[in-house]
Amino acid sequence: MLQTKTVGGVDLAYNVVCKRKLWLYKKGIGMESESDRVLQGSILHESSYPRLDKKEILIDGAFKIDAIDGEFVREIKLSSKMVESDTMQMLFYLYQLFLRGINKKNFN
């Protein structure tokens, strides 16, 4: 059976950060689940934007957006060190929303 290859925002971010990380991610191999940084990121993600009702929004079963606040798409990150990969991920989300007729902005 032929499998459809899909590219998501995380794929683009990992491609910028590390090609090996992308390859492992696409193969379902994740060795970060026990990482303290991943745990910190999860806690930050859960506690961010408490006043917003819409968080972790699944779009067409294809990708998730962390939050939408009015006209802005918000992506929650633990660090601002990976500007290029974070930008690629956000541009992907904005483009995908645009293709679906939803015009949003990046909150920067």
Dist. CA 28–CA 10, nearest whole Å = 13
**pLDDT tens over the chain, length 108 residues:** 334 457 888 888 888 888 998 898 888 887 677 788 878 888 888 888 888 888 888 888 888 889 888 888 888 888 888 888 888 889 988 999 999 888 887 654
Dist. CA 43–CA 14, nearest whole Å = 21
Residues forming a β-bridge with 57: 65
pLDDT in tens, 18-32: 899 889 888 888 767
Q: Amino acid identity, residue 41?
A: G
Q: What is the pLDDT of residue 63?
A: 85
Q: Are 30 and 21 in contact (CB under 8 A)?
A: no
The model's pTM is 0.73
Map tokens 């798409």 to a residue.
73
